[in-house]
């Protein structure tokens, strides 16, 4: 469920007509609904309310400061994967003890930054990282709380580029070697082992891979406890999928997921952490674009938009399908026609959809890409020197630009010409 609905024939973000925002901000732009963001966070919180838990929003899905503050103020923790995300979380007022640091390639500077600013835990992904973190923490006279991310060798059944829990994937340590590596971790002076971490992939539409992975985590918890480690926290990652098309089979709900976690892990008495990103932000955001031209094609017409692959790369990168809807609701009985929906960038890959059935559209009409809130604006670029796409946040009838579109001067002004040139 989201808060982008038609009222009086006009698409609204909560109480604000999209066309009104477009008139003041220009197109393309991203628009997020606060109510949807908070609702999704709340669903996860409720799903785990049977025990101690923390929902750590995976910031990489949508990391605008305003979004991080909205969720952080509601009590969310943050899952960060870089020093930049850590800095954003802190700037949004999230306390260090609610920030977890994930990622296969943390740098010494990032480790120091988090140890100085406060951290809930590092999710460590390799033995060399373990040793480096211990050295850095020891040299600072502190101990770093850690989990080890284990790779359970489970196929999440998702897109190749976002599957992370199979044994050939770059993530985590092989679960078969976990006991040895935990022993090593316990012996290192700068570390305190507190739990286990696992994250098997993104856009999962089936709960069974989670069940398989969490069973292995439960077995490992018992084995590690028998080895003398205190395992008090289980970080179960993120990855729950969202319905990108309303016609599709609906992915499991957070409540189903919470029930599964309870069935598999409650008996261990651990604090549960989860790291959802897509499910919190995905359907809480749309990308709005304007029709520039309708061009007659060989088989069907091209709908040429002012938004492009640099603004929303998911179709080009993952073959993702986003529902596209007109800002002005089509009258009942309007016949749809197939369009190839494309952007202005000079690549054939700049195609959002082929043969998509839409009501007839004209230059100047606005369309919205639904489910664009996660891995949308954060993956945008200035390819073709198209200024970075702006972001807007709505709450009830409040609207705010939370990242403005840079002017050409601002965009170009970041480059410098060396004095010898
Ligand atoms: C990307 C990622 C997440 C979030 O995944 P979603 O599919 O957006 O829920 C959580 N944890 C880790 C370690 C990640 O890399």
Q: How far apart, in whole angstroms, are the C-alpha atoms of residue 365 and residue 251?
A: 32
**CA of 282, closest atom in ligand 1:** 8
Cis bond before residue 28 (omega within 30° of 0): yes
The Å distance, Cα 188 to ligand 1 centre, comes to 28
Q: How far apart, in whole angstroms, are the C-alpha atoms of residue 66 and residue 86?
A: 15
For residue 220, give the nearest of 262, 182, 169, 258 by alpha carbon. 182
Report the pLDDT value the prediction gives residue 299, as an integer from 0 to 100. Answer: 87
Cβ 53 under 6 angstroms from ligand 1: no
**Digit-coded pLDDT (tens) for 289-332:** 999 999 998 889 999 999 999 999 999 999 999 999 999 999 99
Return the axis-axis angle of helices 127-140 and 108-117, rounded to nearest 10°: 50
Q: How far apart, in whole angstroms, are the C-alpha atoms of residue 131 and residue 30?
A: 42
Neighbours of 93 (CB within 10 A): 11
- Strands 351-358 and 337-342 turn out to be antiparallel
Whether the model pTM is above 0.95: yes
Cα 320 off chain centre by: 15
The Å distance, Cα 406 to ligand 1 centre, comes to 29
Residue ranges in the chain whose pLDDT is less than 70: 1, 246-249
Cβ 69 under 6 angstroms from ligand 1: no
Q: Please, what are the domains in the chain?
A: 4-31+282-413 (2.40.37.10), 34-281 (3.20.20.10)
From 43, 277, 283, 379, give the residue whose CB has the most ligand 1 atoms within 8 Å, as the site to mutate.
277
Cα 124 off chain centre by: 20
Residues contacting 341, CB < 8 A, separation 6+: 302, 303, 305, 324, 351, 352, 353, 354, 356, 358, 367
Burial category of 9 from C-beta neighbours within 10 Å (exposed 0-12, middle 13-18, buried 19 and up): exposed
Helix (H/G/I), strand (E/B), else coil: 329: coil
Of the candidates 31, 56, 270, 346, the residue annotated as catalytic is 346
The Å distance, Cα 323 to ligand 1 centre, comes to 23
Q: How far apart, in whole angstroms, are the C-alpha atoms of residue 186 and residue 130?
A: 10
From 100, 202, 282, give the residue whose CB has the most ligand 1 atoms within 8 Å, as the site to mutate.
202
Residue 24 CA: distances (Å) to CA of 29, 275, 405, 408: 11, 35, 12, 18
Beta bridge partners of 401: 392
**CA of 197, closest atom in ligand 1:** 13
Residue 53 CA: distances (Å) to CA of 7, 76, 233: 38, 10, 9
- Strands 271-274 and 53-58 turn out to be parallel
The Å distance, Cα 340 to ligand 1 centre, comes to 31
Looking at the chain, how many residues does it have?
Answer: 421
**Angle CA(103)–CA(96)–CA(64) in degrees, nearest 5?**
65
Sign of CA dihedral 37, 39, 41, 44: negative
């Amino acid at each position: 469920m989201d808060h982008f609905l038609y009222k009086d024939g006009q698409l609204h973000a909560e109480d604000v007509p999209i066309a009104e925002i477009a008139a003041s901000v220009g197109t393309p732009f991203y628009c997020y609904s606060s109510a949807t963001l908070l609702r999704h966070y709340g669903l996860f919180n409720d799903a785990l309310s049977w025990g101690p838990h923390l929902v750590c929003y995976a910031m990489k899905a949508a990391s605008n400061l305003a979004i991080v503050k909205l969720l952080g103020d509601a009590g969310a923790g943050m899952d960060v994967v870089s020093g930049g995300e850590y800095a954003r979380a802190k700037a949004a007022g999230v306390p260090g003890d609610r920030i977890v640091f994930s990622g296969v390639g943390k740098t010494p500077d990032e480790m120091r930054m988090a140890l100085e600013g406060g951290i809930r835990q590092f999710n460590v992904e390799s033995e060399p990282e373990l040793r480096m973190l211990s050295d850095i923490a020891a040299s600072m006279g502190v101990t770093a709380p850690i989990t080890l991310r284990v790779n359970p060798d489970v196929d999440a059944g998702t897109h190749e580029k976002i599957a992370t829990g199979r044994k050939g994937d770059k993530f985590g340590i092989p679960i078969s070697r976990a006991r040895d590596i935990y022993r090593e971790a316990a012996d290192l002076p700068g570390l305190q082992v507190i739990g286990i971490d696992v994250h098997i992939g993104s856009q999962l539409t089936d709960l069974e891979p989670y069940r398989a992975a969490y069973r292995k985590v439960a077995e490992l918890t018992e084995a590690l406890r028998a080895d003398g480690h205190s395992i008090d926290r289980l970080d179960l990652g993120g990855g729950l999928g969202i319905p990108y098309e309303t016609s599709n089979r609906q992915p499991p709900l957070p409540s189903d997921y919470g029930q599964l976690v309870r069935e598999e892990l409650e008996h261990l008495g651990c604090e549960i952490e989860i790291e959802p990103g897509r499910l919190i932000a995905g359907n809480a955001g749309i990308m709005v674009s304007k029709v520039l031209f309708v061009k007659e094609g060989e088989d069907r017409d091209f709908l040429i938009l002012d938004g492009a692959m640099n603004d929303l790369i998911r179709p080009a990168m993952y073959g993702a399908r986003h529902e596209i809807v007109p800002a002005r609701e089509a009258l009942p009985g309007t016949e749809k026609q197939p369009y190839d929906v494309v952007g202005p960038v000079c690549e054939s890959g700049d195609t959002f959809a082929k043969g998509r059935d839409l009501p007839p559209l004209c230059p100047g009409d606005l369309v919205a890409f639904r489910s664009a809130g996660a891995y949308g604006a954060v993956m945008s670029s200035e390819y073709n020197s198209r200024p970075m796409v702006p972001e807007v946040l709505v709450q009830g009838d409040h609207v705010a630009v939370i990242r403005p579109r840079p002017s050409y001067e601002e965009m170009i002004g970041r480059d410098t010409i060396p004095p010898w040139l």
